Amino acid sequence: MDSIGSYFTAIAQPKGLGNLSRNFGWSELIFLLSAVRWTLLLSMIAFAGGAVAGLLVALLRTAPIAALRWIAIGFIQVFQGTPVLMQLFVCFYGLPVLLHVEVDPWPAVTIAFMLYSGAFLGEIWRGTIQAIPRSQWEAARSLSLSYLQQLRLVILPQAVRIAIPPTVGFLVQLIKGTSIASIIGVVELTRAGQLMTNVTFEPMLIYPVVALLYFALCWPLSLMSRYLEQHIDTNLSTKWSL
């Protein structure tokens, strides 16, 4: 099979050593491409779980009861103030010895990233809930809606609109973040790159390709986030005032 990497191998390796290793050819490239789905799957699960946790955190953070707000603040502080990698290690190495259970890499990674994105999304969405003008709450209350009805019928529908651009932006951060799952051996894009490097000895070629694949996933989202930021009308105060 024709090898893309042979040209680079000739530069990077002394002659004669090439026989010992595989070259970076189409099958290796396809292996990397197919690992993209694990990165995407992991990001999606983490995002879905994180969205549930994040909504809860955002609601607690803006709740009318001080104790609930403090719980949410503590959660956000801890998860934004510590490295994701540490959260991952606590889930993967720490919890099994604590609870006497075997934890596979996938559940550990999923739990860690759900909590992590819950904290970040919670903080982002808190901002958007608080960005809704006070008069909206008051108007809803004067219509004798209960607190949950005020949220569900008046506040959240408006908050969701302005929450979209930063949420898409966080998705980029999350997709990049999932690369550290490779450190505990989950085979996603970065780990696939490591595996391919181990058999081809061509890091010069493979890691840039891996970076390129991440870029292809993240850049469109970044552009979309920026576009939405400019085109979604976030000027609530003028829009709703008399």
Partner 1 sequence: MNYVFHFGIVWDHWRDLADGAWLTVRLSAMAMVLGLGLSICTAYAKLSRVAPLRWLIGSYVEIIRNTPFLVQIFIIYFSLPALGLRLEANEAALVAMVVNFGAYGTEILRAGIEAVPKGQIEAARSLGLTRPQTFRFVILYPAVKVVFPALASQFILMMLGSSIVSAISAVELTAVTNSLQSTTFRAFEFYFVTTAIYLALALVFRAVLGGLYWFVFHRDRPA
**Binding region for partner 1 (CB under 8 A):** 8, 11-12, 77-78, 81-87, 89-90, 93-100, 172, 176-177, 179-180, 182-183, 190, 193-194, 197, 202-204, 207-208, 210-211, 214-215, 218-219, 222
H or E element, residue 121: helix 105-131
Contact in structure between 236 and 133 (CB atoms under 8 Å): yes
Contact in structure between 61 and 69 (CB atoms under 8 Å): yes
Q: Given the complex with partner 1, which of 83 and 107 has the nearer CB atom?
A: 83
CA distances from 190 to 34, 35, 87, 117, 179 (A): 12, 8, 19, 20, 6
Q: Given the complex with partner 1, which of 157 and 208 has the nearer CB atom?
A: 208
25 three-class SS: strand
- CB of 31 vs partner 1, minimal distance in Å: 16
Contact in structure between 87 and 112 (CB atoms under 8 Å): yes
Q: Given the complex with partner 1, which of 57 and 112 has the nearer CB atom?
A: 112
- CB of 193 vs partner 1, minimal distance in Å: 7
Q: Which long-range contacts (CB under 8 A, 24 or more apart) does 134-138 make?
A: 135/240, 135/241, 136/240
Q: Which residues contact 128 (CB under 8 A, 6 or more apart)?
A: 159, 160, 162, 163, 166
Q: Given the complex with partner 1, which of 63 and 204 has the nearer CB atom?
A: 204
Q: Given the complex with partner 1, which of 102 and 144 has the nearer CB atom?
A: 102
- CB of 52 vs partner 1, minimal distance in Å: 23
- Alpha carbon 167 to its chain centroid, in Å, reads 10
Among 117, 130, 139, smallest CA distance to 158 is for: 130
- Please tell me the distance from the alpha carbon of residue 60 to that of residue 53, in angstroms, as a whole number: 11
Q: Given the complex with partner 1, which of 135 and 173 has the nearer CB atom?
A: 173
- CB of 12 vs partner 1, minimal distance in Å: 4
Q: Given the complex with partner 1, which of 69 and 176 has the nearer CB atom?
A: 176
- CB of 152 vs partner 1, minimal distance in Å: 32
Contact in structure between 131 and 159 (CB atoms under 8 Å): yes
- CB of 29 vs partner 1, minimal distance in Å: 16
- CB of 210 vs partner 1, minimal distance in Å: 5
